[in-house]
Amino acid sequence: MKRKLGSFASALACLALTTGSASAWEPSKPVEIVVAAGAGGASDQMARMIQVAIQKNNLMKQPMVVSLKGGASGAEALIYMKSSSGDANRLLIAYSLIYMLPLSAKIPFNWRDLTPVSVVALDQFVLWTNAQLPYKTVKEFADAAKSANPPFKMGGTGSKREDHVLTVFLEKKTGAKFAYLPYKSGGEAATQLVGNHTQSNVNNPSENLEVWRAGQVRPLCVFDKERIQYKTKVTDTMSWNDIPTCRDQGVDVQYLMLRAMFLPGKVTPEQTAFYVDLFRKVTETREYKEYMEKQALKPIFLTGKDMLKFLEEDDALNKSLMTEAGFVAN
Amino acid sequence: MEAFGLLVYGFSVLLTWKTLALMMVGLVLGIFVGVLPGLGGPNGVAILLPLTFTMDPTSAIVMLSCIYWGALFGGAITSILFNIPGEAWSVATTFDGYPMAQQGRAAEALTAAFTSSFIGSLVAVLLITFLAPGVASFALKFGPPEFFAVYLLTFCSFVGLGREEKHKTIISMTLGLLLAGVGMDTVSGQLRMTFGLSDLLRGINFLVAVIGLFGISEILLTMEERLALRGHPARISLRVVLKVWKELPQYWVTLLRSSAIGCWLGITPGGAIAASFMSYNLAKRFSKDKDSFGKGRIEGVFAPETAAHASGTSALLPMLALGIPGSGTAAILLGGLMVWGLNPGPLLFVEHKSFVWGLIASMYLGNVVGLVLVLTTVPLFAAVLRVPFAAIAPMIVVSCAIGAYAIQNAMFDIWLMLAFGIVGYVFKKIGIPLAPFTLALVLGNRAEDSFRLSMIGAGGDMRVFWSNGLVGSITTLALILLFWPLISSAIARIRPAVRGGA
């Protein structure tokens, strides 16, 4: 009985403390980060980095748990978030699928149904080939691809998504034709390239990092208007910065992918404000900075009006790319 | 010697208090589900799988595989004491085990069962230990055509080698393939057969299906049959154990043969059930005293138990190395691997060394600890069976429902599970095997994807399945297995003719 009283008292004390610090909202139960992809992929890795950064730097009282909802190419996560309206203990770590999936597969989802919190990074895409193949430049590769019969195989993640779109634009700019093989994950696309089952892929840096370091794949160019900024050597001879842009190599295809945090719809401004502040702090941690460099991500922090403007523009861009590639379902 | 080094590394991963504690918990739970009729290994693992979602993959697989070993041990207890096989592969154990119990030699029979189980698994684990390292370098040879050929092999061998009637196997498999198509299609990026229901977006989770098909349907059947549980008392003394162990060496041929059968059928998807029957039949056939079988001969317990355990254990090798489960429980463990974010397949050995070798080390340790545990706790588990079925059945149903719900936190899955329960009941009534259905549900998608990727890559040319030695031989083997019944009857017809001519 005594112990019960004691715990009751301490519960009261807690209550007093929380009401004491008034106004500012704080999560009262563990916060769930929803990953719209399989385990070990780029989204999952980032979610776990955020989890560690928050925990190590004591940025939040409640623990954070990562929950994987990669079913139906990530549609599972989108529907889950949509149906969690009003629940401020749930965050989606979003990427370009929020624009593309509703277009290609007619998933009943619109990112405007959710509450944007912040854009935390931009991800790059790189054209990779097997290191045993002789092609050292995009031109050599494209020329070989043009005359190849059967056509070169391009591995990628999913169908009618960012990797597929990039492949279509690569075809348009070079005149080569590829047989696009949609795998379930970037990791699978990477190992299939190493095993010589495909000639190339357009993986994110993080997805091919390990096999690049093992000398099994060769980067040809990065799909951005400027080179990746990181100059620390990744392999014996090269840094991320040593990879030329595709534009400089005569193939003007550019694509950057957002990595952003969303809350479900119908949350209060106080709740949103808490998370905006939380992720601002996350982007200032050492863990975040190291992660950006290791995975060759572009650091960025957008929130509020800036973020909305970015999302609208990005949405329009993705829509036009998807339409041009012929991937929009009727 | 590479294998030995890696194994030592595996033990170092394993030997933490947390892992060891999980191991004990797993074993006890496993024996428990093994003893309960209607639960058994696959269901036990399926129901308890969500418990492990929050653990790291190594702890999770150690616990789950220990549930598996426990269930394998537990299955023998009911077969011998009550003549109720807790597992399908324990059926053969009842032939001689139950008569022994009736003659008051229950303790002897149990000791024989546990010991031979232990020997069977040990042989299989040794096999895994020395074959596994080679699997890694084999890894990168697998592209879409090779993967498809392996899936084809699995499907074909089920049809060709299964004991059930062929058309029923094919019906069951086709239905499974159909349901595997529900949800997002990776290759085209389109939704299929979702009928606008967002609950169907993620497809039909095969764990939900398995819990319904096996667990719920078994409860329905047992309810109908008004199963009465009556058991023989059992107590094992050290004296009996030593007596059985002393007799053990004279049966070395049976033990060795049963282990070999078990390992072979475990790696190919023949499974533990076929293995236990086959080795019982062979032991009987090669025995000088055929008539004593079925009347309480200890060899009749040794043979099926050794084979069942050898195959149950070796079934994990194709699951880990190729992503192809050799048994129902392995298929569920495969689902678990994916949940923890591990892609089973050749690269698992390269990318997740501590996981793979932790698991292999846990097979050694789990079996030793399991043996000691079952020998000491038999009376306790036998007591479970004295609880009336009416009290146990609701608990099983509730635990099935919790299990189905927890997989994806979806209420829809509970309805789905119940629907599959009815499907399973009907299937069992009309004699359609459930295993091909489950297999198709878990592998259907991957087989389809790899087939279509092969076709995209080869421009629609079917010759890609014979384009190199590896894929060619697997495909050919698959086709041979598919038509095996025809081929073997043809051989049988030719042979007497040859003999007659000579």
Task: Give the model confidence (pLDDT) of B213-222 as tens digits.
Answer: 877 887 788 7
Task: Give the model confidence (pLDDT) of B397-455 as tens digits.
Answer: 887 787 677 667 788 999 999 999 999 999 989 988 877 887 788 778 888 999 999 99
| pLDDT interval class at B494 (50, 70, 90) | confident
Helix (H, G, I), strand (E, B) or coil at B177: helix
Residue identified by tokens 């919190």 is: A117
Whole-Å CA distances, A43 to A51, A93, A120, A248 = 12, 7, 12, 29
- Confidence (pLDDT) at B502: 43
CA of B458 vs chain A CAs: smallest distance (Å): 7
Cα nearest neighbour of B57 on chain A: A39
Average pLDDT for residues B81-102, to the nearest whole number? 75
| pLDDT interval class at A3 (50, 70, 90) | very low
CA of A74 vs chain B CAs: smallest distance (Å): 9
The residue among A242, A271, A298 that closes a domain is A242
State the best of A82, A191, A201 to mutate against chain B, taking most chain B CBs within 10 Å.
A191
B43-47, B52-56, B301-305, B329-333: which is most confident: B301-305
Residue A115 shares a structural domain with residue A262: yes
Residue A191 shares a structural domain with residue A131: yes
- Confidence (pLDDT) at A6: 44
Question: For residue B104, is pLDDT > 70?
Answer: yes
Question: For residue B134, is pLDDT > 70?
Answer: no
CATH at residue A269: 3.40.190.150
Q: Using the beta-carbon criterion (under 8 Å), do A182 and B143 form an inter-chain contact?
A: no
Chain B CB contacts of A150 under 8 Å are 457-459
* CA separation for the pair B344, B352 (Å, rounded): 10
Average pLDDT for residues B224-240, to the nearest whole number? 65
| pLDDT interval class at A26 (50, 70, 90) | very high
Residue A228 shares a structural domain with residue A297: no
Residue A150 shares a structural domain with residue A233: yes
B501 token code pair: 């001519």
| pLDDT interval class at B145 (50, 70, 90) | very high
Q: Using the beta-carbon criterion (under 8 Å), do B143 and A68 form an inter-chain contact?
A: no
Buried b (16+ CB within 10 A) or exposed e, A5-39: eeeeeeeeeeeeeeeeeeeeeebeeebbbbbbbbb
Which of B120, B50, B19 minimizes the C-alpha distance to B406?
B50
A314 token code pair: 């990005």
Average pLDDT for residues B139-156, to the nearest whole number? 82
Task: Give the model confidence (pLDDT) of B250-282 as tens digits.
Answer: 888 888 888 888 887 777 655 566 677 778 877
| pLDDT interval class at B383 (50, 70, 90) | low
Residue A56 shares a structural domain with residue A118: yes
The runs of H, that is alpha helices, within A61-200 are: 75-82, 97-104, 138-147, 162-174, 186-194
- Confidence (pLDDT) at A202: 96
* CA separation for the pair B475, A263 (Å, rounded): 49
Average pLDDT for residues B377-394, to the nearest whole number? 71
Task: Give the model confidence (pLDDT) of A220-240 as tens digits.
Answer: 999 999 999 999 998 889 999
Average pLDDT for residues B119-125, to the nearest whole number? 88
Pairwise pLDDT comparison (B190 vs B211), residue with the higher score: B190
**Amino acid at position B298, single letter:** I
Task: Give the model confidence (pLDDT) of B477-490 as tens digits.
Answer: 889 888 888 888 88
Helix (H, G, I), strand (E, B) or coil at B182: coil
Put simply, whether B449 touches A (Cβ < 8 Å) is: yes
The residues near B390 (Cβ < 8 Å, ≥ 6 apart) are: none
Comparing A25-34, A258-267, B22-31, B85-94, the range with the smallest average pLDDT is B85-94
Residue A225 shares a structural domain with residue A185: yes
Would you list the domain boundaries of chain B? 2-486
Evaluate whether residue A96 is within a structural domain. Answer: yes
Put simply, whether A192 touches B (Cβ < 8 Å) is: yes
Task: Give the model confidence (pLDDT) of A101-145 as tens digits.
Answer: 999 988 889 999 999 999 999 999 999 999 999 999 999 999 999
Q: What percentage of residues in chain A have a pLDDT greater than 90?
A: 68
The runs of H, that is alpha helices, within B139-203 are: 144-161, 166-180
Q: Using the beta-carbon criterion (under 8 Å), do A72 and B449 form an inter-chain contact?
A: no
Evaluate whether residue A1 is within a structural domain. Answer: no
Evaluate the omega torsion of the peptide bond into residue A150 and state whether it is cis, within 30 degrees of 0: yes
Residue A176 shares a structural domain with residue A101: no
Evaluate whether residue A9 is within a structural domain. Answer: no
The residue among A189, A217, A242 that closes a domain is A242
Q: What percentage of residues in chain B have a pLDDT greater than 90?
A: 10
B86 and B305 Cβ atoms separated by less than 8 Å: no
Q: Using the beta-carbon criterion (under 8 Å), do A159 and B189 form an inter-chain contact?
A: yes
CA dihedral for A167, A169, A173, A179, sign (positive or negative): positive
Nearest neighbour of B144 by CB, restricted to A151, A194, A197:
A197
Q: What percentage of residues in chain B have a pLDDT greater than 70?
A: 79
**Amino acid at position B363, single letter:** M
* CA separation for the pair A133, A74 (Å, rounded): 33
Question: For residue B139, is pLDDT > 50?
Answer: yes
A211-215, A238-242, B45-49: which is most confident: A238-242
- Confidence (pLDDT) at B335: 64
Average pLDDT for residues A178-193, to the nearest whole number? 88
- Confidence (pLDDT) at A19: 42
- Confidence (pLDDT) at B2: 66
Residue A134 shares a structural domain with residue A238: yes
Full domain range(s) for residue A184: 126-242
Helix (H, G, I), strand (E, B) or coil at B95: helix
Strands A31-35 and A298-303: unpaired
Whole-Å CA distances, A88 to A26, A162, A265, A270 = 9, 29, 9, 10
- Confidence (pLDDT) at B231: 53
CA of A302 vs chain B CAs: smallest distance (Å): 31
* CA separation for the pair A259, A283 (Å, rounded): 12
Put simply, whether B197 touches A (Cβ < 8 Å) is: no
Put simply, whether A191 touches B (Cβ < 8 Å) is: yes
* CA separation for the pair B83, B81 (Å, rounded): 6
Q: Using the beta-carbon criterion (under 8 Å), do A191 and B453 form an inter-chain contact?
A: no
Helix (H, G, I), strand (E, B) or coil at B488: helix
ipTM attached to this prediction: 0.83
| pLDDT interval class at A13 (50, 70, 90) | very low
Nearest neighbour of B186 by CB, restricted to A68, A150, A159:
A159
Q: How many alpha carbons lie under 13 Å from residue B337 in its C-beta half-sphere?
A: 25
State the best of B197, B343, B348 to mutate against chain A, taking most chain A CBs within 10 Å.
B343
Residue A114 shares a structural domain with residue A262: yes
Q: How many alpha carbons lie under 13 Å from residue A40 in its C-beta half-sphere?
A: 20
Evaluate whether residue A160 is within a structural domain. Answer: yes
Our count of domains for chain A comes to 2
Residue A83 shares a structural domain with residue A173: no
